Amino acid sequence: MPDPIAILKESEWGEVCARLNIMFAWADQNLVIRDASRRLRVTVGRDLTGRTLSEAFPNLLGLEDELRRIARGQAQPWRIPGFRLSEKHLQPYDVLFMPLTESGGLLMVVRQMDIESAMERELRQQRNEMALLQEQLETQTEALQLTQARLENLERERKSLMDIIALDIQSALSIAQGYAEWLQRALADSAMSQYEQALKLITQETEHIGELVREVQAFQRVERALESMAWRPVELAKLLDAVTGMWRDIAKLREVDFEIHAKSPAPGISGDPELLCEAMDRIYNYMLFLADPPATVRVELNAWPGWALMRFTCSRIRKEQALLEHRSGHALNARQRAFQLQLARARIIAEGHGGHLSLSDETDKNAVLFWLPAESAPSDEALPAGVKKPPFQVKKRPVEETRTPSASKWITAGRESIRIDVEKGRVWLNDELIKLTDSEYRLLLYLAQHVNEVVRNEELQAHLGKDGRPISLASLRVLVWRLRQHLGGNEGAGQYLRTVRGFGYLLVS
């Protein structure tokens, strides 16, 4: 049987192959190596003759059947680019297995890929990193667009508010001023009833100004409350019941009834119950203003993936009172504008919770849609006809300040490098605000509340769990690792968060 390696060594092709760093091994049909080029023996660092291919090149383990099939001509030749000859060899090779039809057996051709692999590594690394950056950029662009949409909404709301205030205050003041002047000029007149009428109008308009000022103050109060809001779990169905209870008697006097259809189980949300009550209160007020008695105000509480939706509609409406979103402040009368202000307050509360409020004249019911981000989504039911999902979803945590607030309730740890504002749920590291996820914050707060004490793993797992189910130990370790990274790792304040092996963790004061 002619030795293919010997043939190659003696031929011109052998010279060509040697110059191109191409190496060979020849195995019989049982995959026992019969001969190998010197360069391959040197590369592998041992004699190859008499060994099987998988003994000589352990990375070929498990492929014996396939290689035998190639040797017998039952399968096509096989080229594996970028193959390592063993776990020790990090250098990639271009490897080709082909049958030797005349002599029988298998020829393994190995070519070094120094330059190609170095270039490929460089290009691939760059391509992958760029693609990852592009993905991040897209995510950030999306977040930016959402924020921009929210800002535009707020700006629209602000302009509308300014229009209303300017128009109504100006109008009320003109009336008051006009009558005051008239009163001055007409002092000699003895018709008392005219003075009384003038005074009544002045009183009425100044009251209107007072109402507007109170509304502006209410806005400011809501904005302040949203900024420092403490997030708590809220049961929407209960909240809705409570607000409905407050309105039911008043509504009855006006021949308006309420119907509540709450999905069971109601979607879980979090937020400030008092603010949410206030928003619903304002919406009910608007619905009563809208109702043409006898009428029924229907409230549907439903779930949509990621959202809880409260849809307020009225069976009979006074169309002349209906507010449409596209109407500007000028197209509305004073009374409508007052209600628009109240709805604006409810909208700001919704947006402060990461939600949304919109008006819709679907099927002439002048519906108010109040969206809130849901913690869970128990239903995939279709939305009512004409209802569209909100155009954006913002993060639930409020916009954070970048400077340390002057007066708050603090917990300090880590030689005072870590400061936690418990009231606002914010963490400062060396006077710089850091962003933590809810779980990371809860972990840090718990450790800070037990500063200088070793807190057991099980205790932390239970504390960080949801619905009575503790998180896994692996998840806890990941959370601790992530928290340490936020605190500057083992070089920074993270060193004060210590692992007590086999027991738990300790945060140094």
Three-class SS of residue 333? Answer: coil
Helices (H), 228-290: 236-253, 273-290
Structure tokens at 457: 């793993």
Figure out which of the listed residues 18, 78, 389, 451 binds another protein, where binding follows CB under 8 A. Answer: 78
Nearer to another protein, 112 or 412 (CB): 112
Nearer to another protein, 126 or 204 (CB): 126
Residue 505: in which H helix or E strand, if any?
strand 504-507
Structure tokens at 297: 């105000």
Q: Is 452 exposed, middle or buried (0-12, 13-18, 19+ CB in 10 A)?
A: exposed
Least Å from the CB of residue 395 to another protein? 13
Nearer to another protein, 132 or 162 (CB): 132
Figure out which of the listed residues 12, 87, 320, 491 binds another protein, where binding follows CB under 8 A. Answer: 87
Asked if 98 interacts with another protein (CB under 8 A), we say: no
Least Å from the CB of residue 92 to another protein? 4
Figure out which of the listed residues 15, 47, 114, 135 binds another protein, where binding follows CB under 8 A. Answer: 135
Nearer to another protein, 81 or 178 (CB): 81
Q: How far apart are the first and last CA of the chain?
A: 81
CA distances to 105, 136, 141, 393 from 144, in Å: 64, 12, 5, 11
Nearer to another protein, 145 or 220 (CB): 145
- Buried-exposed string 388-419: b where 16+ CB fall within 10 A, e elsewhere: eebebbbebbbeeeeeeeeeeeebebbeebbb
Residues 475-504 that bind another protein (CB under 8 A): 475, 477-478, 481-482
Cα separation, 390 vs 371, whole angstroms: 7
Least Å from the CB of residue 155 to another protein? 31
Nearer to another protein, 120 or 459 (CB): 120
Nearer to another protein, 16 or 119 (CB): 119
Picking from 324, 302, 297, the residue whose alpha carbon sits closest to that of residue 313 is 297
CB 235 within 8 A of CB 274: no
Least Å from the CB of residue 75 to another protein? 8
Residues 104-133 that bind another protein (CB under 8 A): 113, 117, 120-121, 124-125, 127-129, 131-132
Asked if 63 interacts with another protein (CB under 8 A), we say: yes
Angle CA 281–284–289, to nearest 5:
130
Of 162-170, 201-209, 313-321, 470-478, the window that binds another protein (rule: CB under 8 A) is 470-478
Least Å from the CB of residue 18 to another protein? 23
Picking from 55, 11, 58, the residue whose alpha carbon sits closest to that of residue 31 is 55
DSSP one-letter code for 443? H
CB 199 within 8 A of CB 184: no
Asked if 55 interacts with another protein (CB under 8 A), we say: no
Cα separation, 369 vs 357, whole angstroms: 6
Mask: binding to another protein, 219-248, rule CB under 8 A, as x and -?
------------------------------
Q: How many residues does the chain have?
A: 509
Least Å from the CB of residue 377 to another protein? 7
Residues 353-382 that bind another protein (CB under 8 A): 376-377
Asked if 194 interacts with another protein (CB under 8 A), we say: no
Mask: binding to another protein, 265-304, rule CB under 8 A, as x and -?
----------------------------------------
Cα separation, 71 vs 99, whole angstroms: 5
Residues 414-443 that bind another protein (CB under 8 A): 437-439
Return phi, psi of residue 129, to 5°: -65, -40
Figure out which of the listed residues 9, 41, 84, 424 binds another protein, where binding follows CB under 8 A. Answer: 84
Q: How many CB atoms lie within 10 A of CB 251?
A: 21
Asked if 92 interacts with another protein (CB under 8 A), we say: yes
Q: Could you tell me if residue 393 is left (phi over 0), alpha (psi between -120 and 50 degrees) or otherwise beta?
A: beta
Binding-site ranges for another protein (CB under 8 A)? 58-59, 61-66, 78-84, 87, 92, 113, 117, 120-121, 124-125, 127-129, 131-132, 135, 305, 376-377, 437-439, 472, 474-475, 477-478, 481-482
